[in-house]
Structure 1
Amino acid sequence: MADAASRLTTLAGNLLGAPPPVRIRAWDGSEAGAPDAPVLVVRHRRALRRLLWKPGELGLVRGWVAGEIDVEGDLYEALDRLAGLIWDRPPPEDGEARSSAAGRAQALLDPRLRAAARDLLELSGPRAWLPLAPPAEEVRRRRGPLHTRFRDRQAISHHYDVGNDFYELVLGPSMVYSCAYWADGGSLEDAQRDKLDLICRKLALDEGDRLLDVGCGWGSMAIHAAREYGARVTGITLSREQAAYARKRIAEEGLTDRVEIRVQDYRDVKDGPYDAISSIGMAEHVGSARYREYADVLYGLLRPGGRLLNHQIARRPEKDETAYRVDDFIDAYVFPDGELAPVGATLSILEEAGFEARDVESIREHYARTLRAWVANLESAWKDAVRRTSPGRARIWRLYMAASAVSFERNRIGVNQILAVKTPEGGASGLPLRAREWTESPPR
């Protein structure tokens, strides 16, 4: 097994069809590959066994979560280099789908790939044919239809009920888990406050208005709307840990007469009408099969003239939308059952439900900066973060947030705020003639 790194470099080149853009260090201490590049460290041959049994992204991620694979150097640079070679590669020139039976058969006949498979088997060691159990943090196989109330509760609990003290380390004092709205020179806390204030202004909140905050998280939007605008807020979440934390914050702010937090599914809210609804980073959990129902429910909960602010991550459209599939890493370790849709599809469904879409603001670059700030928080408190959750969970979060930052920077995904109105009969929307009047008001 001498010079395992050189063999791994050759193996990676054969599989990818190009030299790996990072340097590789193997478990025997050998190094090979691109000079002056981030180093992909393969600490144990078990990582190769995982790839043998689960080729592709999920096998690599299992090795990462288990601590068998790591990166030395700039993680963002490593991910950016790998993104250009793996995730952003053009389709095969012959147009044959990679996952088709014909495509797989062609791969088996390719002598280069057959040689790579033999090398992977040999490098994996004598136990190569024994599968390894996935890391404990991986979501167990789910059964039954997507986005039932029970399954949604399980998915939300997996992501959010990992300890409020862990989220405090990552998110900082604002405890806002969505894209901030940055100004030059501002802190993360300033940017999150400005984002909440921007939403309140887009919703034209006023003293006594009823606001429904769907997916209220740890209560930051509810507190800001009640304290700064005098709104009466109902916040709903499926996470019991979030709800308990939010209620404690609200009591400490002296806002219990203005803010109510419920553990409740959006489909079960029956106490409309509301003057405004905010949905900030929640709709990604709804799913394409349920999105029209989500839009219908929110439309029905608003009074005529009421406004919806839908803040949601979007993906780029596929040439063939039937070919879209959820990212294996995200589904297995981060957001089980989460789905992203193109912003155009979201707008269409909101309009089909009866909403009039009045404004769309893309804040993609803001999310890349937000994620980098969260990663910095996590890295600066790494030992404490591991203690509060688990080494695997902390590694998941570091990878997912850093990779997401790169995805936003490369325009693979975006995030948009959609302002929509339940326009009354007669067509008087109640919005100012200057559609973006809120941008002229300074943050409070």
Structure 2
Amino acid sequence: MADAAGRLAALVGEVLGAPLPLRLRAWDGSETGPTDTPVLVLRSRRALHRLLWKPGELGLARAWVAGDITVEGDLYRALDLMAPVVWQHGEHLPERLSLRDPRLFRLAGRALALAGPSLPPPPPPEEAPASHGVKHSLRRDREAISHHYNVGNDFYALVLGPSLVYSCGYWADPDATTLEQAQAAKLDLICRKLALRPGQRLLDVGCGWGSMVLHAAEHYGVEAVGVTISTEQADLARKRVVEAGLTDRVEIRVQDYRQIDDGPFDAISSIGMAEHVGTEAYRIYAEQLFGLVRPGGRLLNHQIARRPQADESAYVIDEFIDRYVFPDGELAPVGTTVTLLERAGFEVRDVESIREHYALTLRSWVSNLEQNWEQALRLVSPGRARVWRLYMAASALAFEQNAIGVNQVLAVRNAAGGVSGMPLVRGTWGA
């Protein structure tokens, strides 16, 4: 079909009410649009089929994961240019093209003529299977975590680097700090906020590959328990504990946070785990951690937050993230998190926003993936690698533009009489 790119660009512009801000190349080799932007490439008609059968973000995600759509050039700039079109113009699409609007049928006919007849393309195999059972039950949470984390420790090591820390670093100087230094600084900051001392007992909820418990045991002399419900994470974490010679002070368990019953602990860290808990289960999460920490003990809750909505009941979970990245994951505003922790009995003593730090970390992870792309394709499927590249790049922009944030919430379970044991001056955490 001659000039598929021009015809498609005209169709998109009419549907969205705005021109496509990227150069477009279609499956027939035709191109159109500005010459000074990244190029959005539709490799086959199947990309258009996916959008016709599943309009919106999920159709685009499936086309990207399957390799039907790609971007030549700077992916960050492409996403940045597309965001106003998708959000500012796309949100008004329903009222512009209602079922009563005769243009809808005309536009649909033009799209079908471009795409050609087709049955719905199957979703790429990297898409999470339909979830069963009660949301955030023990079984369903294990399945969700398995989808995200049990994709291969070698792949995560390639993306995250030797630290194997899957949460944002703490960048003292973005121009001089390496990813490994930033992650070590973050772990040390948490240890200081928790005022860890030799002989204390630390619980790390959602311990990942064990980096926090290893750091705390080696540098602060604690006895640490790390729990995860990912078997692959636990296997590598235990190997790292042995290699570090810390088997007498560090224990790694495959265990849900709701099943821990051997408190009290002097301190609890939860780093990038609470996003998996879910809104409805968060009260149980907060009450469980409160019951596991001794009076006078501290909790450090490191958690991504979304911006509050004018109508919270209208909040919609991102389809791409839910289907391909974090099934059943849910973000909440930081104010909601603080409220629920305090309702459980904690006193929140400090909240530090480190939003920009996560953007720097994500850009480092994307760089690791892009620089080692061929090796990544030997470790996971091309679709899985594309999922991680897109979600990390888009997330970096979301943090930079204040669409989402991340906060370290330091809380304490006060002893009798409201005694917190906290220093009078902020920042002197262990004083």
Q: Is contact 1:46-1:68 (8 Å) kept?
A: yes
Please name the residue that 2:15 is paired with. 15
Determine the C-alpha separation between the residues in 2 that align with 1:256 and 1:198: 24
Task: Write out aligned runs for 1:346-385 (5 A).
Answer: 346-385=337-376
Amino acid at match of 1:309: L
Determine the C-alpha separation between the residues in 2 that align with 1:87 and 1:363: 25
Unaligned runs of 5+ in 2: none
Please name the residue that 1:95 is paired with. none
Please name the residue that 1:118 is paired with. 109
- Report the Cα offset of residue 267 of structure 1: 0.2
RMSD: 1.5
Closer/same/farther in 2, CA of residues 91 and 393 from structure 1, 3 Å limit:
closer
- Report the Cα offset of residue 34 of structure 1: 2.5
Determine the C-alpha separation between the residues in 2 that align with 1:133 and 1:407: 29
Determine the C-alpha separation between the residues in 2 that align with 1:49 and 1:429: 60
Determine the C-alpha separation between the residues in 2 that align with 1:362 and 1:4: 47
Please, which moves more after superposition, 35-44 or 219-228?
Answer: 35-44
Closer/same/farther in 2, CA of residues 13 and 287 from structure 1, 3 Å limit:
same
- Report the Cα offset of residue 120 of structure 1: 1.6
- Determine helix, strand or coil for the equivalent of 1:24: strand
Q: Is contact 1:14-1:112 (8 Å) kept?
A: no
Please name the residue that 1:267 is paired with. 258
Deviations 1:123-150 (A, max 9, x none): 11132xx111100000111122200000
Please name the residue that 2:78 is paired with. 78
- Determine helix, strand or coil for the equivalent of 2:29: coil
Please name the residue that 2:49 is paired with. 49
Determine the C-alpha separation between the residues in 2 that align with 1:112 and 1:361: 50
Deviations 1:77-119 (A, max 9, x none): 0101111221355965xxxxx77xxx49x52233444433222
Q: Alignment partner for residue 135 of structure 1, among 124, 130, 140?
A: 124
Amino acid at match of 1:363: I
Determine the C-alpha separation between the residues in 2 that align with 1:355 and 1:291: 14
- Report the Cα offset of residue 366 of structure 1: 0.5
Deviations 1:32-83 (A, max 9, x none): 1223111100000001111111100000111111111000111000101111
Please, which moves more after superposition, 136-145 or 150-159?
Answer: 136-145
Closer/same/farther in 2, CA of residues 136 and 203 from structure 1, 3 Å limit:
same
Determine the C-alpha separation between the residues in 1 that align with 2:288 and 2:107: 53
Q: Percent identity?
A: 67
Amino acid at match of 1:116: L
Please name the residue that 2:400 is paired with. 409
Deviations 1:309-339 (A, max 9, x none): 0000000011111111110000100000000
Unaligned runs of 5+ in 1: 93-97
Determine the C-alpha separation between the residues in 1 that align with 2:220 and 2:279: 34
Task: Write out aligned runs for 1:24-63 (5 A).
Answer: 24-63=24-63
Please name the residue that 1:290 is paired with. 281
Determine the C-alpha separation between the residues in 1 that align with 2:395 and 2:429: 29
- Are 2:33 and 1:4 aligned? no
- Determine helix, strand or coil for the equivalent of 1:41: strand
Q: Alignment partner for residue 159 of structure 1, among 137, 140, 148?
A: 148
- Determine helix, strand or coil for the equivalent of 1:233: strand
Determine the C-alpha separation between the residues in 2 that align with 1:120 and 1:236: 51
TM-score by length of 1: 0.94
Please name the residue that 1:218 is paired with. 209
- Determine helix, strand or coil for the equivalent of 2:387: helix
